[in-house]
């Protein structure tokens, strides 16, 4: 149970290869923090620096008030769950979970007690004598979690722990992990490239791209108020629509429509963003888009329209009862509360 601070952390391999750039983030005690970003964005490196598997080039990482830059991995009071689970194949489930405790020279009865209570939490009681190869993917994953739990660490580090599971099991495990987080009342730091995992599990999300931390916030914040074009495009499925516009005072002109902006912005080039669900089948006189529909996807609960508004590709998520066929021109209303405008050069959000 402890907070974690990345204080202007830099990871540089050579003079021109910098994988983490000036990262500053404070992770609160007992928080479930998700580091998310595309592959190669530096999120795993950030986690491995905290774990002690990579050295820190510049800056400080603190666990609680303690600077851990030069503390050995085993003394940092952390536990890590690997993507591959990294179970010791020749040891039984019990021995796998007991291994970190044996390394800490804990007494036998205490080891036994801890392993048994962890296996009870994870439902592994009946598998303690099995070898990892005799377990299913989900069970192996739980053993990896168990090996982390027995140490009762201050911080849990999870490096894409669900990516080797099939879709159904992943959904279940996501819920189990959240329960586990509540039960253990410990700080969790979770790395993933899957924004659905990030949105559903994180108390807060830290989005990274190309080694730079883009935004830190609750799932609601990063969804409703993305700080820049990258975050806006990364979070949400289907992705946000982006339409290049020319702004003047408080109106924006795109290739297929023109609308009044809720806030005044400097005149110039911009990128207008709105999520597919900001479009409705009820055209309003304030802002109506005429969309030439190319493809219609009906999912039962939703209906996605893919098409063109002027010269720009747009996706709309509308009421499934709306009658549209490919080739139609649909009149759609745009909810101005869901509008985002980004600077064309800096890509940062005006609103």
Partner 1 sequence: MTVAAAAQPTSSATMFSPRWIADHLSRWPLHIAVIGLTAAWMVPTIGLLVSSFRPFSGQATSGWWTAFANPTTFTISNYTQVLSAGTTNLGQAFFNSFMISVPATVLPVSIGAFAAYPFAWMKFPGRNGLFLALVGLLAVPLQLTFIPVLSFYVQHLHWTTNNLEATGIPGLPWVPLWLAHAGYGLPFSIYLLANFFRALPSDLFESAEIDGAGTLTVFFRIVLPLSVPALASLVIFQFLWVWNDLLVALIYVGGTPSVAPLTVNLAGLTTSLGQGSNLLTAAAFFSMIVPLIVFLSLQRYFVRGILAGSVKG
Residues that bind partner 1 (CB under 8 A): 51-53, 73-74, 78-80, 82-86, 88-90, 99-100, 103-104, 147
- CB closer to partner 1 out of 85 and 242: 85
- CB closer to partner 1 out of 53 and 336: 53
- CB closer to partner 1 out of 89 and 300: 89
Q: Are 224 and 278 in contact (CB under 8 A)?
A: no
- Residue 114 CB, shortest distance to partner 1, in Å, is 14
- Residue 146 CB, shortest distance to partner 1, in Å, is 13
- Residue 13 CB, shortest distance to partner 1, in Å, is 14
- Residue 104 CB, shortest distance to partner 1, in Å, is 6
- Residue 95 CB, shortest distance to partner 1, in Å, is 10
- Residue 55 CB, shortest distance to partner 1, in Å, is 12
- CB closer to partner 1 out of 59 and 100: 100
- CB closer to partner 1 out of 96 and 209: 96
- CB closer to partner 1 out of 80 and 334: 80
């Amino acid at each position: 149970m402890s907070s974690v601070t990345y204080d202007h952390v830099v990871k540089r391999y050579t003079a021109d290869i910098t994988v983490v750039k000036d990262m500053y983030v404070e992770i609160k005690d007992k928080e479930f923090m998700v580091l998310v970003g595309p592959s190669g964005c530096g999120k795993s490196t950030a986690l491995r620096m905290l774990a002690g598997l990579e050295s820190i080039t510049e800056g400080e990482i603190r666990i609680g008030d303690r600077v851990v830059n030069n503390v050995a991995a085993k003394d940092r009071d952390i536990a890590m769950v690997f993507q591959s689970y990294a179970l010791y194949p020749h040891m039984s489930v019990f021995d796998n979970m007991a291994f970190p405790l044996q390394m800490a020279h804990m007494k036998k009865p205490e080891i036994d007690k801890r392993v048994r209570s962890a296996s009870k939490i994870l439902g592994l009681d009946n598998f303690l004598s099995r070898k990892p190869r005799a377990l299913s993917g989900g069970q192996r994953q739980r053993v990896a979690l168990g090996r982390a739990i027995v140490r009762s660490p201050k911080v849990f580090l999870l490096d894409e722990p669900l990516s080797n599971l099939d879709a159904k099991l992943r959904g279940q495990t996501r819920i189990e992990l959240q329960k586990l987080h509540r039960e253990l009342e410990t700080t969790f730091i979770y790395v993933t490239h899957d924004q659905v995992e990030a949105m559903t599990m994180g108390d807060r999300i830290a989005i990274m791209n190309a080694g730079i931390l883009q935004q830190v916030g609750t799932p609601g914040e990063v969804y409703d108020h993305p700080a820049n074009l990258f975050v806006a495009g990364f979070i949400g499925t289907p992705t946000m629509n982006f339409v290049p516009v020319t702004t003047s005072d408080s109106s924006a002109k795109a290739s297929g429509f023109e609308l009044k902006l809720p806030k005044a912005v400097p005149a110039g080039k911009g990128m207008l963003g709105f999520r597919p669900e900001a479009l409705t089948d009820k055209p309003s006189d304030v802002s109506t888009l005429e969309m030439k529909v190319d493809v219609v996807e009906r999912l039962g609960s939703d209906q996605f329209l893919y098409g063109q508004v002027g010269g720009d590709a747009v996706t709309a998520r509308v009421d499934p009862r709306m009658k549209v066929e490919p080739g139609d021109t649909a009149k759609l209303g745009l909810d101005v509360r869901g509008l985002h405008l980004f600077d064309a050069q800096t890509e940062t959000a005006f609103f």
